[in-house]
Structure 1
Amino acid sequence: MTTTIERLTADLTTAMKARDDFAKNTLRQVIGAVRTAEKSGSAAHELSDAEVQTVLAAEVKKRRESAQIYLDADAPERAENETAEADFIEKYLPASLTPAQLDALVADAIASTGASSMKDMGNVMKTATAAASGIGRVDGKALSQAVRQALAAL
Protein backbone atom coordinates (compact mmCIF):
# COMPACT_ATOMS: atom_id res chain seq x y z
CA MET A 1 0.00 0.00 0.00
CA THR A 2 1.38 3.38 -0.95
CA THR A 3 1.60 6.18 1.55
CA THR A 4 -0.15 9.50 1.09
CA ILE A 5 3.09 11.34 0.33
CA GLU A 6 3.96 8.75 -2.34
CA ARG A 7 0.51 9.25 -3.91
CA LEU A 8 0.99 13.03 -3.85
CA THR A 9 4.40 12.74 -5.51
CA ALA A 10 3.15 10.29 -8.16
CA ASP A 11 0.16 12.51 -8.91
CA LEU A 12 2.47 15.52 -9.21
CA THR A 13 4.50 13.68 -11.85
CA THR A 14 1.30 12.78 -13.69
CA ALA A 15 0.06 16.38 -13.53
CA MET A 16 3.37 17.66 -14.86
CA LYS A 17 3.26 15.24 -17.78
CA ALA A 18 -0.35 16.19 -18.51
CA ARG A 19 0.50 19.91 -18.21
CA ASP A 20 -2.29 20.33 -15.64
CA ASP A 21 -1.21 23.59 -14.02
CA PHE A 22 -3.95 23.63 -11.38
CA ALA A 23 -3.13 20.14 -10.09
CA LYS A 24 0.61 20.71 -10.40
CA ASN A 25 0.54 23.96 -8.40
CA THR A 26 -1.79 22.61 -5.73
CA LEU A 27 0.24 19.42 -5.28
CA ARG A 28 3.48 21.40 -5.07
CA GLN A 29 1.98 23.58 -2.32
CA VAL A 30 0.74 20.55 -0.38
CA ILE A 31 4.01 18.63 -0.72
CA GLY A 32 5.83 21.79 0.39
CA ALA A 33 3.61 21.99 3.48
CA VAL A 34 4.40 18.36 4.30
CA ARG A 35 8.15 18.93 3.85
CA THR A 36 7.96 22.03 6.06
CA ALA A 37 6.17 20.01 8.76
CA GLU A 38 8.90 17.37 8.52
CA LYS A 39 11.56 19.98 9.22
CA SER A 40 9.70 21.73 12.02
CA GLY A 41 10.44 20.99 15.63
CA SER A 42 13.73 20.28 17.31
CA ALA A 43 14.82 17.63 14.81
CA ALA A 44 13.78 16.82 11.26
CA HIS A 45 11.92 13.55 10.86
CA GLU A 46 9.81 11.76 8.29
CA LEU A 47 6.10 12.15 8.98
CA SER A 48 3.90 9.12 9.47
CA ASP A 49 0.91 8.75 7.19
CA ALA A 50 -1.39 9.96 9.98
CA GLU A 51 0.75 13.07 10.42
CA VAL A 52 0.64 13.73 6.67
CA GLN A 53 -3.15 13.42 6.84
CA THR A 54 -3.16 16.01 9.62
CA VAL A 55 -1.11 18.40 7.48
CA LEU A 56 -3.50 17.87 4.56
CA ALA A 57 -6.51 18.52 6.79
CA ALA A 58 -4.89 21.77 7.96
CA GLU A 59 -4.29 22.79 4.34
CA VAL A 60 -7.95 22.14 3.51
CA LYS A 61 -9.08 24.14 6.52
CA LYS A 62 -6.74 27.01 5.60
CA ARG A 63 -8.14 27.14 2.07
CA ARG A 64 -11.76 27.02 3.25
CA GLU A 65 -11.09 29.92 5.61
CA SER A 66 -9.35 31.86 2.84
CA ALA A 67 -12.29 31.26 0.52
CA GLN A 68 -14.65 32.72 3.12
CA ILE A 69 -12.42 35.77 3.56
CA TYR A 70 -12.34 36.29 -0.21
CA LEU A 71 -16.13 35.99 -0.38
CA ASP A 72 -16.47 38.56 2.39
CA ALA A 73 -14.06 40.85 0.50
CA ASP A 74 -16.13 40.49 -2.70
CA ALA A 75 -13.49 38.51 -4.61
CA PRO A 76 -15.50 35.49 -5.83
CA GLU A 77 -12.88 34.35 -8.38
CA ARG A 78 -10.24 33.95 -5.70
CA ALA A 79 -12.74 32.27 -3.38
CA GLU A 80 -13.64 29.82 -6.14
CA ASN A 81 -9.96 28.96 -6.65
CA GLU A 82 -9.41 28.38 -2.92
CA THR A 83 -12.51 26.17 -2.74
CA ALA A 84 -11.37 24.19 -5.78
CA GLU A 85 -7.96 23.64 -4.17
CA ALA A 86 -9.58 22.51 -0.91
CA ASP A 87 -11.81 20.07 -2.81
CA PHE A 88 -8.77 18.76 -4.69
CA ILE A 89 -6.78 18.17 -1.50
CA GLU A 90 -9.73 16.46 0.20
CA LYS A 91 -9.39 13.59 -2.31
CA TYR A 92 -6.29 12.54 -0.36
CA LEU A 93 -8.07 12.48 2.99
CA PRO A 94 -10.24 9.68 4.39
CA ALA A 95 -13.99 10.15 4.02
CA SER A 96 -15.75 12.24 6.63
CA LEU A 97 -18.02 10.54 9.13
CA THR A 98 -21.73 10.68 8.35
CA PRO A 99 -24.05 12.28 10.93
CA ALA A 100 -25.32 8.81 11.92
CA GLN A 101 -21.75 7.55 12.42
CA LEU A 102 -20.94 10.67 14.43
CA ASP A 103 -23.97 10.16 16.68
CA ALA A 104 -23.04 6.50 17.23
CA LEU A 105 -19.46 7.49 18.02
CA VAL A 106 -20.62 10.06 20.58
CA ALA A 107 -23.06 7.58 22.16
CA ASP A 108 -20.26 5.00 22.51
CA ALA A 109 -17.93 7.61 24.03
CA ILE A 110 -20.58 8.66 26.55
CA ALA A 111 -21.27 5.04 27.47
CA SER A 112 -17.59 4.14 27.83
CA THR A 113 -16.78 7.16 30.01
CA GLY A 114 -19.95 6.92 32.10
CA ALA A 115 -20.67 10.60 31.48
CA SER A 116 -23.75 12.00 33.15
CA SER A 117 -23.52 15.78 32.72
CA MET A 118 -21.82 18.60 30.83
CA LYS A 119 -18.99 18.45 33.38
CA ASP A 120 -17.86 15.24 31.66
CA MET A 121 -17.53 16.86 28.23
CA GLY A 122 -13.71 16.87 28.31
CA ASN A 123 -13.51 13.13 28.93
CA VAL A 124 -16.13 12.39 26.29
CA MET A 125 -14.38 14.60 23.72
CA LYS A 126 -11.05 12.91 24.43
CA THR A 127 -12.55 9.44 24.01
CA ALA A 128 -14.58 10.39 20.93
CA THR A 129 -11.62 12.08 19.24
CA ALA A 130 -9.42 9.03 19.81
CA ALA A 131 -12.12 6.73 18.44
CA ALA A 132 -12.73 8.97 15.42
CA SER A 133 -9.07 8.98 14.42
CA GLY A 134 -9.26 5.27 13.61
CA ILE A 135 -12.54 5.44 11.70
CA GLY A 136 -12.39 8.47 9.45
CA ARG A 137 -12.15 12.21 9.33
CA VAL A 138 -14.28 14.26 11.69
CA ASP A 139 -14.60 18.01 12.10
CA GLY A 140 -13.77 19.01 15.67
CA LYS A 141 -16.51 21.61 15.71
CA ALA A 142 -19.14 19.09 14.58
CA LEU A 143 -17.90 16.56 17.13
CA SER A 144 -18.04 19.13 19.92
CA GLN A 145 -21.56 20.14 18.94
CA ALA A 146 -22.72 16.51 18.84
CA VAL A 147 -21.21 15.84 22.28
CA ARG A 148 -22.89 18.96 23.72
CA GLN A 149 -26.27 17.93 22.32
CA ALA A 150 -25.94 14.38 23.60
CA LEU A 151 -24.86 15.48 27.08
CA ALA A 152 -27.62 18.09 27.27
CA ALA A 153 -30.16 15.35 26.49
CA LEU A 154 -29.03 13.25 29.47
Structure 2
Amino acid sequence: MIRENIQKETIAAMKAGDKQRTAALRLIGAKVKDRDIEMRTATSVPDDDDLLTDVLLKMAKQRRESITMYEDGGREELAAKERAELAVIEEFLPQMLDEGQMRVAVEEAKNTVGAQSMKDMGKVMAELKARHGVLLDMSKAGPMVKESLS
Protein backbone atom coordinates (compact mmCIF):
# COMPACT_ATOMS: atom_id res chain seq x y z
CA MET A 1 0.00 0.00 0.00
CA ILE A 2 2.82 2.43 0.84
CA ARG A 3 4.55 1.53 -2.42
CA GLU A 4 1.43 2.43 -4.44
CA ASN A 5 1.02 5.71 -2.53
CA ILE A 6 4.61 6.68 -3.31
CA GLN A 7 4.11 5.92 -7.01
CA LYS A 8 0.84 7.89 -7.15
CA GLU A 9 2.37 10.86 -5.36
CA THR A 10 5.38 10.82 -7.69
CA ILE A 11 3.13 10.97 -10.74
CA ALA A 12 1.01 13.72 -9.18
CA ALA A 13 4.10 15.79 -8.31
CA MET A 14 5.45 15.38 -11.85
CA LYS A 15 2.13 16.48 -13.35
CA ALA A 16 1.98 19.47 -11.00
CA GLY A 17 5.52 20.49 -11.96
CA ASP A 18 6.73 20.39 -8.35
CA LYS A 19 10.40 19.68 -9.00
CA GLN A 20 11.51 19.60 -5.35
CA ARG A 21 8.78 17.14 -4.32
CA THR A 22 9.37 15.03 -7.43
CA ALA A 23 13.08 14.82 -6.61
CA ALA A 24 12.38 13.75 -3.02
CA LEU A 25 9.88 11.11 -4.15
CA ARG A 26 12.35 9.79 -6.71
CA LEU A 27 14.97 9.50 -3.96
CA ILE A 28 12.51 7.42 -1.96
CA GLY A 29 11.81 5.28 -5.03
CA ALA A 30 15.52 4.71 -5.60
CA LYS A 31 16.08 3.60 -2.00
CA VAL A 32 13.10 1.27 -2.19
CA LYS A 33 14.45 -0.24 -5.41
CA ASP A 34 17.86 -0.73 -3.76
CA ARG A 35 16.21 -2.56 -0.87
CA ASP A 36 14.20 -4.70 -3.30
CA ILE A 37 17.44 -5.75 -4.96
CA GLU A 38 18.96 -6.61 -1.56
CA MET A 39 15.91 -8.72 -0.71
CA ARG A 40 16.30 -10.91 -3.80
CA THR A 41 18.96 -12.94 -2.03
CA ALA A 42 17.37 -12.83 1.43
CA THR A 43 16.17 -16.06 2.98
CA SER A 44 13.06 -14.50 4.49
CA VAL A 45 11.32 -11.47 3.04
CA PRO A 46 9.34 -9.25 5.44
CA ASP A 47 5.95 -7.75 4.67
CA ASP A 48 6.20 -5.08 1.95
CA ASP A 49 4.86 -2.25 4.15
CA ASP A 50 7.27 -3.22 6.95
CA LEU A 51 10.15 -3.18 4.49
CA LEU A 52 9.18 0.23 3.13
CA THR A 53 8.63 1.65 6.60
CA ASP A 54 12.13 0.51 7.56
CA VAL A 55 13.59 2.23 4.49
CA LEU A 56 11.66 5.43 5.22
CA LEU A 57 12.72 5.45 8.88
CA LYS A 58 16.36 5.18 7.90
CA MET A 59 15.98 7.94 5.33
CA ALA A 60 14.28 10.17 7.90
CA LYS A 61 17.03 9.54 10.43
CA GLN A 62 19.69 10.44 7.84
CA ARG A 63 17.86 13.67 7.01
CA ARG A 64 17.59 14.67 10.68
CA GLU A 65 21.31 14.09 11.18
CA SER A 66 22.12 16.09 8.05
CA ILE A 67 19.90 18.97 9.16
CA THR A 68 21.76 19.15 12.47
CA MET A 69 25.16 19.07 10.75
CA TYR A 70 24.19 21.73 8.21
CA GLU A 71 22.77 24.01 10.89
CA ASP A 72 25.91 23.62 12.98
CA GLY A 73 27.98 24.42 9.90
CA GLY A 74 25.96 27.51 9.03
CA ARG A 75 24.60 26.04 5.79
CA GLU A 76 20.94 26.98 6.18
CA GLU A 77 20.11 26.53 2.48
CA LEU A 78 21.20 22.88 2.61
CA ALA A 79 19.37 22.36 5.89
CA ALA A 80 16.19 23.76 4.28
CA LYS A 81 16.54 21.28 1.39
CA GLU A 82 16.90 18.40 3.86
CA ARG A 83 13.86 19.62 5.84
CA ALA A 84 11.78 19.60 2.65
CA GLU A 85 12.88 16.04 1.87
CA LEU A 86 12.16 14.99 5.46
CA ALA A 87 8.63 16.40 5.22
CA VAL A 88 7.96 14.29 2.11
CA ILE A 89 9.41 11.16 3.72
CA GLU A 90 7.34 11.62 6.88
CA GLU A 91 4.12 11.73 4.85
CA PHE A 92 4.47 7.99 4.22
CA LEU A 93 5.49 6.96 7.74
CA PRO A 94 2.90 5.71 10.23
CA GLN A 95 2.06 8.08 13.09
CA MET A 96 4.66 7.62 15.84
CA LEU A 97 3.71 7.38 19.51
CA ASP A 98 3.98 10.68 21.38
CA GLU A 99 5.89 11.03 24.65
CA GLY A 100 2.89 10.25 26.88
CA GLN A 101 1.99 7.15 24.90
CA MET A 102 5.64 6.06 24.99
CA ARG A 103 5.74 6.33 28.78
CA VAL A 104 2.59 4.20 29.05
CA ALA A 105 4.07 1.64 26.61
CA VAL A 106 7.30 1.49 28.65
CA GLU A 107 5.38 0.86 31.88
CA GLU A 108 3.23 -1.83 30.24
CA ALA A 109 6.29 -3.58 28.82
CA LYS A 110 8.09 -3.31 32.17
CA ASN A 111 5.13 -4.90 33.96
CA THR A 112 4.73 -7.63 31.33
CA VAL A 113 8.33 -8.86 31.62
CA GLY A 114 8.48 -8.22 35.39
CA ALA A 115 11.46 -5.89 35.11
CA GLN A 116 13.00 -4.84 38.43
CA SER A 117 16.44 -3.45 37.62
CA MET A 118 18.72 -2.28 34.83
CA LYS A 119 19.60 -5.94 34.19
CA ASP A 120 16.13 -6.29 32.64
CA MET A 121 16.49 -3.37 30.21
CA GLY A 122 17.09 -5.67 27.23
CA LYS A 123 13.91 -7.62 27.99
CA VAL A 124 11.87 -4.43 28.22
CA MET A 125 13.31 -3.06 24.97
CA ALA A 126 12.60 -6.35 23.19
CA GLU A 127 9.02 -6.30 24.46
CA LEU A 128 8.57 -2.71 23.27
CA LYS A 129 9.90 -3.54 19.83
CA ALA A 130 7.66 -6.61 19.59
CA ARG A 131 4.54 -4.71 20.65
CA HIS A 132 5.00 -1.38 18.92
CA GLY A 133 7.65 -1.94 16.23
CA VAL A 134 7.95 1.04 13.91
CA LEU A 135 5.50 3.19 15.86
CA LEU A 136 8.05 3.65 18.63
CA ASP A 137 11.20 5.75 18.34
CA MET A 138 13.68 3.42 20.02
CA SER A 139 16.26 6.20 20.45
CA LYS A 140 13.78 7.99 22.74
CA ALA A 141 12.44 4.82 24.35
CA GLY A 142 15.87 3.72 25.61
CA PRO A 143 16.36 6.68 27.96
CA MET A 144 12.75 6.35 29.16
CA VAL A 145 13.31 2.67 30.02
CA LYS A 146 16.55 3.55 31.84
CA GLU A 147 14.80 6.25 33.82
CA SER A 148 11.94 3.92 34.67
CA LEU A 149 14.25 1.12 35.85
CA SER A 150 16.64 3.23 37.92
Could you tell me the TM-score, scaled by structure 1's length?
0.90
Over aligned residue pairs, what C-alpha RMSD do you find? 1.6
Q: Percent identity?
A: 32
Report the CA distance between 1:47 and its aligned residue.
Answer: 6.0
The change in CA–CA distance for 1:100 and 1:75 in structure 2 (over 3 A counts) is: same
Q: With a CA cutoff of 8 Å and minimum separation of 6, indicate the structure with the bigger relative contact order.
A: 2
Aligned length: 148
Report runs of 4+ in structure 1 exceeding 2 Å deviation.
44-47
> Which residue does the alignment assign to 1:115?
115
Report the CA distance between 1:31 and its aligned residue.
Answer: 0.7
Report the CA distance between 1:61 and its aligned residue.
Answer: 0.7
> Which residue does the alignment assign to 2:8?
10
Report the CA distance between 1:50 and its aligned residue.
Answer: 0.8
> Which residue does the alignment assign to 2:71?
71
Secondary structure of the residue that 1:40 maps to in structure 2? helix
Return the structure number with greater helix share. 2
Report the CA distance between 1:41 and its aligned residue.
Answer: 5.1
Equivalent residues of 2:25, 2:88 under 8 A apart = no
The one of 27, 33, 46 aligned to 1:29:
27
Report the CA distance between 1:68 and its aligned residue.
Answer: 1.2
Q: How does 1:57-96 map to 2 (within 5 A)?
A: 57-96=57-96
> Which residue does the alignment assign to 2:130?
130
> Which residue does the alignment assign to 1:53?
53
Q: Is there any run of 5+ residues in structure 1 with no aligned partner, and where?
A: none
Rounded to whole Å, the distance in 1 between the matches of 2:48 and 2:115 is: 33
Rounded to whole Å, the distance in 2 between the matches of 1:141 and 1:83 is: 20
> Which residue does the alignment assign to 2:145?
147
